[in-house]
Structure 1
Amino acid sequence: MAAPHLPAGYTAHPIDPPADRPRLHDLVTAGRAALGLTEAVDPGALDIVLKRDGLDPAADVLLVRAPDGELAAWAWTDRRTGVEVHPAHRGRGLGSALLDWTERRARERGDTALTQTVEDLDPAATALLHAHGYRPKVTNWLLEIPLDDVELPPPPDGVTVRPIRAGDPADERAAHRLGEAAFADWQERPKPFEEWAAFHLHRATFAPERSPLAFVDGRLAGLLLALERPGRTDGYVQTLAVDREFRHRGIARHLLRYSFAACRRAGLTHGTLWTHSGTGALDLYLKIGMTVRRTTSVVGKDLTAN
């Protein structure tokens, strides 16, 4: 794979995860701070990228160092792609060079499309992606709710609810099956259990006591998986899914209240989650009192178009 065409003095390097993890964390934190986003960066985010099924870190991830040796930018590609440039090194063509590199690498891999998420607070990044042929696909909303008045009523009739049993193969496999089926219409591809579990269950911030499962006649009907937010006062819902057969029975609403009540008992002040325009779930969250904190957009490029 040819190296990207970088400005003078900048050099491309493969990733060394143990050594580069803190530098990447600092790069992402600086990028967020430049947009006025002060929340802590998930320390496991890099591991989630590197564990994507089909991603080869040696070939599909690239770091760029500045003339002084500091990390200036990085990129990865695996159908989804990510490009991030340190604020101190923007405006020098690094973002454009890395977007070109991700596209060339994707074509080598045989990928037919690329998608990337961009902060709506970052119009320069949005304009750059549009200039490279990316077009809007989905809107994401980060929602929040204060936990002062969260109450936990009884579950809907015929529904029993309990926390997931972390490490229990039966619970984990059932959760994987339901989660994949519930989001099949919106996902880019099915995720094998190991990749799905690494993203949801097998990370240091997974919070099983805030992650309820709902059952109807012994069958898993719905789930909510939550994460800790180190250094923050909000509890985070990573995913919420209800089996199609059991929708419109109040299960999703009850699972949210269950998790938010657990967050409040833990001394947290807000509950947060992301949803996107493809799910049609925004109205549910607004009706229970959540409000939009910020938005991002998913943009995509068709690599088969001439």
Structure 2
Amino acid sequence: MSAISLPSGLVTRPLVPGDARAVYELIAEQERTDVGVAEVEEEDLVSEWQQPSYDLSANSIGILDGERIVAYVEYMGEERYDAAVLPSHRGRGIGTWLAGWVQDLARSRGAAMLGMPVPEGSAGDHLLTALGYDVRWTSWVLRLPAGASVRERALPDGYVVREATAADHEQVWTVTEDAFLEWAVRARAPFEDFAARVWQRPGFEPWHLQVITAPDGTVAGVANAWNSPVDNGLDTYVSKLAVAASHRNRGLAQALLVAVFAAGRERGATSSSLSTDSRTGALSLYEKVGMRPASVWPHRAIRLNPGG
């Protein structure tokens, strides 16, 4: 447990699935303070917490002031965690306490390093810097400027873009995980966990998952997107974009962006966004199709056994 004490009057308990709304409201208020817009959705938490392999109560703690959750931390496994502190409760040592708690938990699970993304220049960024966290990589949220669209690009002969069906799900999982694991520091997500975050995500509609099939009928590329409420309307957010290694450099990623952004606009979206990080090397691709960074999120991490 963290060596410092929490302020008097605050209590702690593990989170439970029924806390999703309260934790969403906490994170959203922090993001509005730090980057001017809430990027998180309640469905993000529900889909993560409903993964069969994930034990929420064993990997999280909430801090309550009366009945309200004013801070939380959640160990995502391996080298990653998420945390938030209500802006009105900053400056009281709560973030430091959370960092100590999750470091102890991760260390007990055998993790050698631990980190999380924080908005550049935010209170969280300054806190983690002071606690000895270094930047491991950088992420960006990118958006299309108002009124802009991704230029259409013809698919190679024999390639087809369409909504995914249940028969595609295993290939969707394989293509996406293969692509992400070329750079991500984690184990392969089990199929059931992947399903919980994609087609079992609350509110899922068929257009949210689109694929490009190759001439032989196999899945060559995948896009997972949905319309997300933002302060001024709806935004089509691309959660996952992946192309199988053997089908790259043929414009498939651009074609998928065109397809999902168009589908989102047909359903009322007025803006489009996605996130990427410096490990992927994809920033230039998105900038070439007209997307621009809206916020910067350094992933700060710390070695848990620096002398080991």
Residue equivalent to 2:100? 100
Displacement of 1:265 after TM fit?
A: 2.2
Q: Matches of 1:270 and 1:10 in 2, distance apart?
A: 40
Q: TM-score, normalised by structure 2?
A: 0.89
Post-superposition Cα deviations, 1:133-179, rounded to whole Å, max 9, x if no partner, equal 321111111111245555645422231221112xx1x3111100011
Give distance in 1, aligned partners of 2:85 and 2:173.
34
Q: Structure 2 matches for 1:146-225, cutoff 5 A? A: 146=146, 148-150=148-150, 152-165=152-165, 168=166, 170-187=167-184, 188-216=186-214, 217-225=216-224
Judged with a 3 Å threshold, the aligned counterparts in structure 2 of structure 1 residues 5 and 48 are, in CA distance, closer, same or farther, namely farther
Structure 1 residue 53, shift from structure 2 partner: 6.4
**Counterpart residue type for residue 76 of structure 1:** E
Change (3 A) 1:291 1:100: same
Structure 2 CA distance for partners of 1:83 and 1:226, relative to 1, 3 Å: same
Deviation of the 1:230 alpha carbon:
3.5
| Pairing of 1:47-196 with structure 2 (within 5 A) | 47-51=46-50, 55-66=54-65, 68-77=66-75, 78-79=77-78, 80-122=80-122, 124-145=123-144, 146=146, 148-150=148-150, 152-165=152-165, 168=166, 170-187=167-184, 188-196=186-194
Q: Normalising to structure 1: TM-score of the pair?
A: 0.89
Shift of 1:272: 0.8
Q: What are the superposed Cα offsets for residues 220-277 of structure 1, whole Å, 9 maximum, x if unpaired? A: 1111111221363211111111111111111111111111222222232221111111
Separation in 1, partners of 2:33, 2:45: 20
* Structure 1 portions without partners, runs of 5+: none
Q: 1:285 to 1:51 in 2, by over 3 A?
A: same
Q: Which residue of 1 aligns with 2:262?
A: 261
| CA shift for structure 1 position 285 | 0.9
How far apart, CA to CA, are the structure 1 residues paired with 2:126 and 2:56? 28
Q: Matches of 1:185 and 1:148 in 2, distance apart?
A: 31
Runs of 4+ displaced beyond 6 Å: 1-4
Q: More displaced, 247-256 or 258-267?
A: 258-267
CA distance in 2, matches of 1:76, 1:4: 19
1:44 partner SS: helix
Q: Distance in 2 between matches of 1:40 and 1:241?
A: 21
**Secondary structure in 2 matching 1:239:** strand
Which stretch of the first structure deviates more once superposed, 106-115 or 278-287?
106-115
Aligned to 2:248: 247
Partner AA of 1:298 in structure 2: H
Q: How does 1:269-280 map to 2 (within 5 A)?
A: 269-280=270-281
Aligned partners of 2:133 and 2:300 also within 8 Å: yes
Q: What residue identity is the alignment partner of 1:226? A: A
Distance 1:156 1:112, change over 3 A: same
Percent of aligned pairs with the same residue?
32
Q: Size of the alignment, in residue pairs?
A: 300
CA distance in 1, matches of 2:189, 2:124: 29
Q: Secondary structure at the match of 1:119?
A: coil
Q: Which amino acid aligns with 2:159?
A: V
Matches within 5 A, 1:8-27: 8-18=8-18, 20-27=19-26
- Letter matched to residue 186 of structure 1: W
Amino acid of the structure 2 residue aligned with 1:82: D
Give the Cα separation in 2 of the matches to 1:9 and 1:106: 27
* Distance (Å, rounded) in 2 between the aligned partners of 1:158 and 1:269: 32
- TM-superposed CA distance for 1:109, in Å, is 1.8
2:239 is aligned to 238
Cα contact 2:51–2:196 (8 A) shared by 1: no
CA distance in 2, matches of 1:219, 1:59: 39
Return closer, same or farther for 1:174/1:129 CA change in 2, 3 Å cut-off. same
Conserved 8 A contact 2:137-2:298 = yes
CA contact (8 A) 1:210 1:258 kept: no
